[in-house]
Amino acid sequence: ILIKEIHHRVKNNLQIISGILQLQSMKTQDHTIRDFLDNTISRVQTMALIHKQLYQEETLARLHMNTFIRGLISMLLQIYTLPEKNISILYNIDEIHLPIDIAIPCGLIINELVSNSLKHAFEGKENGEIKISFTKFEENKINLKVEDNGKGIPSFDHIQTSPSLGLELVHVLAEQLGSTLEKSSHKGAQFSIVFKNELE
């Protein structure tokens, strides 16, 4: 009961922070600052969603990733999708439960990559498609893939040299999971990381 209450309070505190940032975003006229605030809001809400789901789980220690990922994408579509865009989301998610120390970096990686696709991949296009794959292979490995059929990714040599803070954050989070981020740009953008599920 105590752990459940802690997750509940953390979620509430994160939602308060998110609300303050949303008020600030609505008041600013500077598009660069507003974009920065909106990105920060989605990161805070991602962590709040994890704690919300954890206090609703029976075990409290592991996150059901299928439920979490679908909830996260629904939230991002509300934040970033414009009315004139028709964006389809395709899922390929195995039955996987992760501890919070793995679930948080995974959630933030998905947040950054999908947010980036929603904001930039489909400029000048009315329709778009984003594929999210979260699958098990071998004994205890997981492959996370995010792909879109948009305009592709910039031709920088390394993620670390990207002008995007989001992609730099993804690189750091992948390292935290003991992995590296693989990227390609063929008929859109493709990102992939492989990491171990230490629970199994």
Which of these, 71, 186, 86, 76, lies nearest to 129 by C-alpha position?
A: 86
- Please report the pLDDT score of residue 1 as a whole number: 52
Predicted local confidence at residue 147, as pLDDT:
93
Rounding to the nearest 10 degrees, give the CA dihedral for residues 25, 31, 37, 40: 150
Secondary structure percentages of the chain, helix, strand, coil, to 5: 50, 20, 25
pLDDT in tens, 56-96: 666 656 788 898 899 889 888 887 767 777 889 999 999 99
Residue type at 118 in one-letter notation = L
Summarised one tens digit per residue, pLDDT across range 154-198 is: 664 454 444 466 788 888 889 989 988 888 887 889 999 999 887
CA distances 16 to 10, 13, 41, 45, 193, Å, are 10, 5, 11, 10, 32
Please tell me the pTM assigned to this model: 0.77
What pLDDT does residue 157 have?
Answer: 47
Which fold does the domain 62-200 belong to in CATH? Heat Shock Protein 90 (3.30.565)
pLDDT tens sequence across 106-160: 888 998 899 888 888 888 888 899 999 999 988 789 999 999 998 887 664 454 4
